[in-house]
Structures are given as structure tokens and as C-alpha cells.
Structure 1
């Protein structure tokens, strides 16, 4: 006894089975083959028994179809049997004629349907034949029971197989998830370096643009550009002052012309209405009018307004209106002079602006400024992409070990506790 206990206690513990991550598909394939082999060995005899029972049932049904009933039975039972027998035989033949495939899952489904059909036939038309063919119907029930018992055995075997298959499927899904996530994690490191490289490139270029812009702004030619800008600003102020003066005179004159137009409409003087309207339209137009056209229209409209002012039909309200219509000749000359001067000043502003636009230093500064805006937009997008990628890598780095541990647990559930899974959580699989 002492030697026996010593032998047991000194026995080395069985070494654990090591499974590498890459070998999981191969390991699962081997297990599946083993499970299928076990399933085949467990189901071979039940399958054959079911086939034999189905054949025996078919033989019994054939014998019932050609059997003669006892002549001593009651005539009513004879009539029932005569009507029910063909229906019963037809239903049983339909159920038994269904093919029983070789593949075990398909065989099981077909066998279950066959038994269900036979039971329904026996409980339906078959129940009327119990008295007429007692022995034959007893044999039918015995055959169906035999098939049912064998199907119950298949149910247990297939249940174990499907449970094992479901476990293996979960393991394979976890394996695929870990493999894909690890591959994406490895690729993300390369992507991260590419983004960092682009950020560095853009930042370096922005630094060069800033340096070049500073040099250009300190260049002697920038003083010339500054002078051109100041001259342009002065020309634009003078032009705008004259535009405001022209607009003020135009609005004042148009206000009086509008009163005159209403009076001319009431008095039904179409030529005067037309002259006044054309003058107002030209004065209110945002575009600077042609001096000759302006001269013609004012020459036609002013006398009409003067006549109505003189007759008391129009009452001037303020000094501006009095200033204009006290001497319309002077007003017309002033408006025409301002029109020509505004055209000249607009041309001068345009020429000064073009001189600035084509200056080589300013062209270069503007080009650098456009490039800077584009690069800053790209830089913002690249930084956002880098942040999103870093967040993804952080979450994935935390998720991979969790999935690996879940994979270990599922493999242990299949193979037992004495199994170790070898996998590098951060490296490529």
C-alpha cells in the first residue's frame, strides 16, 4: 500500500497542451473531424435501424393494402374499412416514400417528418382499421415506435454535436475578430507614422512660408507698395466723397421731379411725364450715367419742374431744393462736371489698384498667403485624423486583451482546463 501511494504521489503532473494563435483554425478543424467521426459512429446503427424500420413499415402497409378482412365483422365496419383503407395506405405510402438522405442532419429531419406523417395517418384514417386489421395495425404502431426510439437516440447525439459545433463557431468568430483587430492595429501604426510625416512636412513648409513672408515684408519694395496703397486709399476716399455729393444732389432733384411727375400725370401731359421719369431713372441708377445723356435728360426735365415751382404747384421744402432749382443751369453743369470727374477718378482708382495687383512682391506675398491658408486647413484635418487614430488605437489596445481572454475561456470550455493559448496581444498574430 505504501508503494502504491508513493507511486501516485510521485507521478508527474500532465503537461498542459499549448495552442498557438495561428494554429487555432487547424486545431478546430481537427476537433471537428473528431466530433464528426464520433457522431458517425454513434449514429450508424440508429440510422440503419430507422431505414430497416421504414422498410418493414412499408412491407406491413403493402400487406394491409392486399389483405382481406374477417367476413364475420359487422357490415358497418366493413363499409368503414372499405372507405378508410385506401386513404390510409395512400397517406402511409406518401410518408414512407420520402427519401432519407445520407447526410446525418438531413437524414434526421427527413426521418422526423416520416414518423410524424405515419403517426398522423395512424391516428387519422388508421383508427378505423384497428378492429378490422388488429394485428397489422399493431405491427404498424410497433414499427413507428421503433423508429421513434431510434430518432430519440439521434436527437441526443445531434444535440451534443450541435452544441460542440456552436462552441467551435464562437471560437472561430473570436479568432477572426482578434486576428482582424490585430492586423488593423499593426496597419494603424504605419498609418500613424504617415500622418505624422505629413504633419511634419506641412509644419516645415508653414515655417518656411512665415520666414519668406517676413523677409518680403521687410524688403525695400514693400515701402513702395505701402506708398501705392496709401495713394489708392486717398483716391478712393476722394472718389467716395464725390459719389456721396452726387448722390445727395440726385436724391434731392429726384424728390422734386417725382412731385412734378404726379402733377403732370394729373394734368395729362405725357411728354412731361416721360421726361421726368427718364431723368429720375437715370439719377437713381447705381451706374454712372453718360454725361451727354444726363445733359439731355436734365435739360428736358428741369424746365418742367421750374414752371410748376413758379406757378406754385410745387413748394420747395428746404435749402437744398432751393439751391438746385434757383439756378438749374448751374445745377446741370455741376452734375455733368461731377459725372465726368467721377468717371476719371474711378479710372484712376482702377489703374492704381492694377498697379498694386501686378507688383511682383505683392503677387508673391499673396501667393504665400493663399498657400498658408490651404496648408493650415490641411494641417487641421491631419491633426484631427491623428487624434481619431490615436483614440482608436487606445481603445483597440484595450479591446484585444479582452477578446483574447474570452477566446482562452471558450477554448478551455471545449478542450478542458489543461490547455494554454499562446498569443501576443499587441504584436501581429
Structure 2
């Protein structure tokens, strides 16, 4: 009595939390599931048997109605109705009760509900016309269905508790599986992260080596020769560009006058002259340098035509550039062919010098190092991005595990019915 008195004043002492090992949870859940199934089987055994008996009794009543005689004192009209509806009723009831009920409680329940529903529909349908003809039998049928309904209600309660328990067990299993999955994924991610760090270190180290090799290039024994060849190529290129500009300027000036001559020849319908002029203009305006022989032949044919038109005042030279070109067309032809020849020679010289420079070991090594550097930098950027994304995922997963752990603990407390605490260490990754 004193203990009860103090409990009322100070409150009953909270029970100590039940220690559970994380690794034992699947086994505990399996045991709870087995117990829940056994409980369901125990709670539904008698109701299921009563339902089977009730359906069998109901079948006997239906058989009795099918084989019974009508009361001779019943009104003829009622006899006619009973005669027409009785076969429908018997057929409907037999169909409703013909299906064998399963042994599994979860399958038994909907089958029994379906059977009772169909029997009720039969009684409320064609059976309602038989209540006067067979009052006792129909009353017994209703009573039998009511009895079956009460047994179904008992199964409803037991099945509801079972399904609630199974849902809780399923939730707990899903939380446990999620924790294990996160732990395994984190372990794999840690290995992947380590491999990524090794690749980053390897690429970073190689980039450092490339930088050192490129920094040491000026002291290479072949650098002096390479620099001299590079300078020589630059000078040759400058000379080629200057000669090309001279050729282009003269070609542009000559083409402008030749175009005037072509228009005049077209008006005069001098087809041969038109052809000479067009051919010369095509060679002078082409981006590709013509052959010297072809250029010489074309200018030798076109320039006399222009010279004749200038002498006839059909063409007026408007600036000093045009006058310089066509003051002496013979000299112009010789100069243009010479420039063309010089350009061909200079292009060949530049090409040979460029090929020699490209083939030089210094150039080969520098190009190789630069290409490798570009590739490594792109790979390093991609690898670092992947590592950043992986690290972010690891952090989110690490943060998720304590939440799942608490959710699992709450689920286990709801299943067991008391406070629990984990008695062991979780997987290292968790």
C-alpha cells in the first residue's frame, strides 16, 4: 500500500529502456511477424469454422426449401409467384455458396464477405417473394446469415489488428534496409572517393612535371638552333607577305582596267578580245597563285588589247597607279611574271622551313607537352567536379542515416510497446 501511495504522489518509475542490438532487428521483426500470424490464426480459427458451419447449415435450409411442398391453403396467386421465383432463388443461393472458402485467413475473409453479400442479395431479391410461402425457412436463413455476419465482424477486428502489425513491421524493415543500403553505399562511395583522389593526385603531379619540363626548355641544347630556325621562318614569312601585297595591289589595279576593256570589247563584239581579257582577269583575281607560264601567256594576249584601247582614247587611266601599270605593258608583264615566280619560290622556301621547324625535336616535344597539358586539365576539371558531387552526396547520406535510425527506433518502440535503445554500434559508415 505504501508503494502505491508513493506512486500516486511521485508517479510510477519509468521502465528502463529495452536494449536491442541493431543487427538483431531483422530477427526480432521475423519473430513478431510469426507471432502475429499465429495470433491471427488463433483468433480466426473458431470464427472461420463457425462461418463454414453456418454456410453448411444455410445450404441445408436451401435444400429443404427446394424439396418442400407448398401450403395448400396459400392463395393461388402466391403459389404462382413462388413457383416462378423459387428456382431463381435456389440457383442464386447455390451459386453464392458453391465457391470453396480458402484456408488462408487473409484470403478467407474477402471470400466469406462475398458469399454473405451474395446470399443477402438473393434473399432480398427473389427470396422476398418466398417469405409467405416458406416463412420458417426464410426466417432461419436470415438468422443464419446474421450469425455468419457476426463471425465475419470478429475476423474483421482480428484481421485489422494483424494488418496494422504487418504494416508496422514493413515500415521497420524498410527503415532497416535503408540504413544498411546507405551504409553500403557510403562504403562504396568512400572507395570511389579514394580512387578519385589518387587520380587527381596523379594528374596534378603530371601537370607539375609538364610545367617543370616546359620551364626547362630554354636550356635545352637544341633550343638555340630552334630559335634561329623560328626567326628565319618569321623573316621569310614577312618577305612573302610583302611580296604578296605587291602582287595583289598590281593585280587589283590591272584587273580594274581590264574590266573596263572587257566592257568595251563586249560592246564592239570582239569575242577573241573578250576571251583574252576574261582569262587574264580570272588569273589575277584567283586566290591561288597561277603558274608563271600561264600568267605570261594571258597577259601577253590581254595587254595589247588594253594598250590599243588606251591609244584610241576608249579607256582613260584615272590615277597614277593605273598609269604606272599601263605606261609600258611589256614591262608590266615581265614584272608580274617575275613577282609570280618569286612568290612561288618564297612559298616553297617558307613551306620547307615550316616543315623543318615542325620536325625539330624542340617543337615536337613542346607540342606534345602542350597537348598533354590541355587533355589533363580537362580531365582534372571533370574529375574534381565528380568528386565534389560525390562528396555532396556522401554528406546528404550521412545526414539521412541518423534520421532513419531515429525513425526505426520509434517504429520498434511502437511494435514492442516500450522504450528501446540501441545496445551496439552501427555500421562504421553509418
The equivalences for 1:4-403 within 5 A come to: 16-403=17-404
* C-alpha distance in structure 1 between counterparts of 2:389 and 2:229, whole Å: 48
- Please say if residues 397 and 426 of structure 1, whose CA atoms lie closer than 8 Å, have aligned partners that are also in contact: no
Query: Once the 2 structures are TM-superposed, how far is the Cα of residue 419 of structure 1 from its aligned partner?
Result: 2.3
* C-alpha distance in structure 2 between counterparts of 1:67 and 1:249, whole Å: 131
Structure 1: unaligned runs, 5 residues or longer: none
* C-alpha distance in structure 1 between counterparts of 2:140 and 2:39, whole Å: 33
SS in 2 for 1:102: coil
- Please say if residues 88 and 125 of structure 1, whose CA atoms lie closer than 8 Å, have aligned partners that are also in contact: yes
1:207-233 deviations in whole A, cap 9, x for unaligned?
A: 222222222222242122112111111
* C-alpha distance in structure 2 between counterparts of 1:80 and 1:154, whole Å: 38
* C-alpha distance in structure 1 between counterparts of 2:67 and 2:412, whole Å: 60
* C-alpha distance in structure 2 between counterparts of 1:90 and 1:370, whole Å: 90
* C-alpha distance in structure 1 between counterparts of 2:266 and 2:132, whole Å: 121
Query: Once the 2 structures are TM-superposed, how far is the Cα of residue 24 of structure 1 from its aligned partner?
Result: 1.4
SS in 2 for 1:420: strand
Structure 2: unaligned runs, 5 residues or longer: none
- Please say if residues 22 and 426 of structure 2, whose CA atoms lie closer than 8 Å, have aligned partners that are also in contact: no
Return closer, same or farther for 1:419/1:140 CA change in 2, 3 Å cut-off: same
* C-alpha distance in structure 1 between counterparts of 2:115 and 2:3, whole Å: 61
- Please say if residues 404 and 425 of structure 1, whose CA atoms lie closer than 8 Å, have aligned partners that are also in contact: no
* C-alpha distance in structure 1 between counterparts of 2:121 and 2:377, whole Å: 80
Moved more, 181-190 or 300-309: 300-309
* C-alpha distance in structure 2 between counterparts of 1:79 and 1:276, whole Å: 123
- Please say if residues 179 and 401 of structure 2, whose CA atoms lie closer than 8 Å, have aligned partners that are also in contact: yes
Query: Once the 2 structures are TM-superposed, how far is the Cα of residue 65 of structure 1 from its aligned partner?
Result: 1.8
SS in 2 for 1:315: coil
- Please say if residues 400 and 425 of structure 1, whose CA atoms lie closer than 8 Å, have aligned partners that are also in contact: no
SS in 1 for 2:132: coil
SS in 1 for 2:322: helix
Return closer, same or farther for 1:312/1:425 CA change in 2, 3 Å cut-off: farther
* C-alpha distance in structure 1 between counterparts of 2:3 and 2:340, whole Å: 129
- Please say if residues 401 and 425 of structure 1, whose CA atoms lie closer than 8 Å, have aligned partners that are also in contact: no
Query: Once the 2 structures are TM-superposed, how far is the Cα of residue 423 of structure 1 from its aligned partner?
Result: 5.3
SS in 1 for 2:216: helix
- Please say if residues 199 and 379 of structure 1, whose CA atoms lie closer than 8 Å, have aligned partners that are also in contact: yes
- Please say if residues 18 and 418 of structure 2, whose CA atoms lie closer than 8 Å, have aligned partners that are also in contact: no
* C-alpha distance in structure 2 between counterparts of 1:264 and 1:379, whole Å: 68
- Please say if residues 58 and 141 of structure 2, whose CA atoms lie closer than 8 Å, have aligned partners that are also in contact: yes
Moved more, 219-228 or 350-359: 219-228
SS in 1 for 2:314: coil
| TM-score normalised to structure 1 length | 0.93
SS in 1 for 2:422: strand
1:374-395 deviations in whole A, cap 9, x for unaligned?
A: 2222222222222222222222
Return closer, same or farther for 1:4/1:277 CA change in 2, 3 Å cut-off: closer
Query: Once the 2 structures are TM-superposed, how far is the Cα of residue 189 of structure 1 from its aligned partner?
Result: 2.0
Moved more, 415-424 or 176-185: 415-424
Return closer, same or farther for 1:180/1:261 CA change in 2, 3 Å cut-off: same
- Please say if residues 61 and 92 of structure 1, whose CA atoms lie closer than 8 Å, have aligned partners that are also in contact: yes
SS in 2 for 1:18: strand
RMSD, matched Cα: 2.4
SS in 1 for 2:368: helix
SS in 2 for 1:234: helix
Query: Once the 2 structures are TM-superposed, how far is the Cα of residue 190 of structure 1 from its aligned partner?
Result: 2.1
Moved more, 110-119 or 419-428: 419-428
* C-alpha distance in structure 1 between counterparts of 2:112 and 2:356, whole Å: 97
Moved more, 329-338 or 185-194: 185-194
Query: Once the 2 structures are TM-superposed, how far is the Cα of residue 398 of structure 1 from its aligned partner?
Result: 1.5
* C-alpha distance in structure 2 between counterparts of 1:3 and 1:272, whole Å: 135
- Please say if residues 171 and 411 of structure 1, whose CA atoms lie closer than 8 Å, have aligned partners that are also in contact: yes
* C-alpha distance in structure 2 between counterparts of 1:75 and 1:314, whole Å: 136
Return closer, same or farther for 1:131/1:309 CA change in 2, 3 Å cut-off: farther
| TM-score normalised to structure 2 length | 0.93
- Match of residue 407 from structure 1: 408
